[in-house]
Amino acid sequence: MASHRKSRPTGTRVAGIRTPALATAALTSVALLSQSANAAPEADDKPSLEEVEKKVDDLYRQAESATDKYNAAKEKTAKQRKRVDTLLDDVAQRTQKLNEAREELGSFASAQYRTGAAAPDTATFLLADTPQDYFDQTQLMDRMTGRQKVAVDDYVTQQSETMKKRREATESLATLTDSQDGLRTAKATVQRKLAAARELMSTLTAEEKARLAAIEKEKRAEAARKADELARQQAARQKAQDEAAQQQDSGSSSSGSADSGSSSSTPPADSSYATKADKALAFARAQIGKPYVWGAVGPGSYDCSGLTQAAWKAAGVTLPRTTYDQVNAGTTVPLSQARPGDLVFFYDDVTHVGIYIGNGMMIHAPKPGTYVREESIFYDGESAVHSVVRPA
């Protein structure tokens, strides 16, 4: 029996009410708009230009910190390799001496075998043709026994020393392996940080890069203003010191002081430092334009501490390789008293260094992709300056 129910109308019901096609389209549009709204934050996830700049700068700083660790590991590895080479040479020489001592013992054994020498006893005495023959034989044996004892003592000594040096060489080889592992780790860290910085920069459009350049230009202008301000402060301070020195000299002359002939306001030690600083600065200026390369110490390229080390080496002063060692290689002075030749260190972790040239300016090797150049010590803001050290 056929059903007499009316077929249910097609369409969409909201709260039990059938909606017309227009309402259905409207709901669809709302749903699409809602999806678009939900997707919008994903587009906003892209970091701002300022955030990109900060991230890139952080990556370069981390790379520079890793470079210092690389430099330290490289220096340690070089020293350890030199020690291993020295120990291996020593072992080879001692082994040669040990072999010579062994050969000498062997020659005694061969001589005894050829002569049939043995400890004198009744049988030997009975076999001797005459008592004089026995006496001659025992005298020979006594001489051989004395020399043999010296040879045995020498052999034992050489064997003990050789074994000792072999153990030291083995331990040094193990330390060298650890140093090489540390060197590889530091190198990989530097490369990883630099690759991340390059990748981040590659995401910028030409317009964004232009804006970033404009921001950098403004930062340099601000740094230059601060450098000028520091230069004025230092000039005023120097003028006050000179005037005070002149007054002191004038007073000494009028009182007929015995030491009035000394009119120089610069102590001999300062004069000596200025001479060395001039040589260091002359070297640093000659490097301007050469590329920054992490781990490099010249002559074609430098990293920051490689440049300062080479500059002061030209002045006859030996500095450590890394920034966190160089910062302890001299006398710390206030920034207001910084003099040409002083080393200026940056950041709390002391990961960058430049050589001060006066008037708030320095010569430094900034970061990968740049060149040795003159720049304000406030290039990354006043708070970035960590300390000033006078190395000689």
Q: Which residue in the list 364, 367, 386, 390 is annotated as catalytic?
A: 364
Annotation says 386 is catalytic: no
Contacts of 309 (CB under 8 A, 6+ apart): 297, 319, 320, 321, 326
Q: Which residue in the list 352, 367, 386, 390 is annotated as catalytic?
A: 352
Q: What is the distance between the alpha carbons of residues 386 and 334, in angstroms, rounded to a whole number?
A: 10
Q: What is the distance between the alpha carbons of residues 94 and 120, in angstroms, rounded to a whole number?
A: 36
Annotation says 304 is catalytic: yes
Phi then psi dihedrals of residue 380, to 5 deg: -120, 25
Contact 339, 390 (CB under 8 A): yes
Annotation says 352 is catalytic: yes
Residue 291's nearest CA partner among 275, 278, 307 is 307
End-to-end CA gap in the chain: 115
Phi then psi dihedrals of residue 12, to 5 deg: -115, 135
Inter-residue long-range contacts of 287-292, CB under 8 Å, 24+ positions, other chains counted? 287/311, 287/363, 287/372, 288/363, 288/371, 288/372, 288/373, 288/374, 289/371, 289/372, 289/373, 290/371, 290/372, 291/370, 291/371, 291/372, 292/365, 292/366, 292/367, 292/368, 292/369, 292/370, 292/371, 292/372
Residue 180's nearest CA partner among 78, 52, 67, 63 is 78
Map residue 46 onto helix, strand or coil.
Answer: coil
Q: Which residue in the list 304, 307, 338, 388 is annotated as catalytic?
A: 304
Contact 354, 287 (CB under 8 A): no
Q: How many CA atoms lie within 13 A of 105 on its CB side?
A: 14
State the catalytic residues: 304, 352, 364
